[in-house]
Amino acid sequence: MRFLYACFVIVLCALIFCEYVADFVVLQKCKWPEIKRKKYVDDPLRAMILADPHLLGPHRGHWLDKLYREWHMTRAFQAASRLFQPDVVFVLGDLFDEGDMVSDKQFQEYVWRYLKMFHLPPGIPLISVAGNHDVGFHYKMHPFFMSRFESYLNNSSVNLYTIKQIHFVVINSMAMEGDGCMFCTQAEDQLKNISRTLYCMKYPLEAECARTRRHPYSQPILLQHFPTYRISDTMCEEHDAPYIEAFRERFHVLSKDATDMLGELLKPRLAFAGHSHHFCHSVNRLGIDEYTVASFSWRNKVNPSFMLATITPDDYVVSKCKMLPQQFVFNSYLSAGILCLIVIGFQLRKCIQSRRQSSAVDHRKVNYLD
């Protein structure tokens, strides 16, 4: 029975390593990027940015797929939050896979699962951006979907967040259609209000700025689900997409007009987006660095990743952090299984040899008696 015990130990070790330890081992290779300039370096903002977790709902996917991959997302996020202890975490849309398909009761359960999986210690904000799977593409957006997302996740079409004197503008990409719909009109009005707020931060002595809140000005950082306009990932300086496809305006990326409007109103210095499920670093149409963040889920990408950004009011450094690859886990369990088979085979060989030797001894005894 020793071989069964050995197999049990092998499988148990593989299970503990893959399910509880491997995320920490892999993520240990990542570290916060450092800003070399001296100004503001004493207290930079450290932001962890991820995208497209796509939590499965009641209609799509197998329950085992849902259970296992969400378990690994939970383990990966908790490992990352413990190791890196960020000041803020941004999730750039498509939190849910079926957010625009479920009832209000199911959506409440969705939100409960999401907040449980991406739980953070008190004082660290989790800022969630709307994606097309959360509220629908533009043609499917409805006040019901929008209001419940805003209600449960405290995020409207356009929001301005200021953390450690760093300004972030969070945008609902699906409201950037520019066709005069009520969502687009509301989003454009909010953008203009934020533009005025930023202007007054920059020029606080202007008469029109007397009642505006007085945060020190710095160029904002843009966060949304859709990337700004680009024709494809051929425009990326770095990317990890397995193949290149042409992007459609208003479906894969923002339109040229929407991109230009954001540049004119906000004058951002840096942009982050998701949606494509693959990493890309490009200098976008506005002439600024844009990072498209890969999906956080094994369901969309076998080698997921997220971004670590160190930011000050006048500088930033961004690095990509690779997560535990799905294939590594499969290979680990396969190796454990093969090792078990080797142990069993070795034990069977010993048993067969022992029986042969015993049979040979018995045969000699019979011959001796004869």
* Binding-site residues for a divalent metal cation: 52, 94, 132, 225, 275, 277
Instruction: For residue 85, give Cα distances in angstroms to 65, 122, 258.
Output: 29, 12, 35
Contact between 245 and 232 (Cβ < 8 Å): yes
* Tokens of residue 152, six digits: 């449960």
SS3 of residue 315 by DSSP? strand
Phi, then psi, of 162 in degrees rounded to 5: -120, 115
- Binding-site entries: 52, 94, 132, 225, 275, 277
Look at residue 159 and give its three-state secondary structure: strand
Residue for token digits 């930023």?
Answer: 198
For 230, the token pair is: 């680009």
Q: Do 161 and 170 form a contact (C-beta atoms < 8 A)?
A: yes
Task: Quote the CA–CA distance of 171 and 226 in Å, as a whole number.
Answer: 9
The CA distances from residue 333 to 262, 275, 300, in Å, are: 48, 31, 21
Side chain identity at residue 95, one-letter code? L
Rounded CA separation 134/121 (Å): 25
- C-alpha–C-alpha distance, residues 302 and 298, integer Å: 5
DSSP string across 50-104: EB---B--SSSS-HHHHHHHHHHHHHHHHHHHHHH--SEEEE-S--BSSTTTS-H
CA separation for the pair 24, 182 (Å, rounded) = 46
Please give the single-letter amino acid code of residue 125: P
Query: Residue 305 pairs with which residues in a beta bridge?
Result: 322
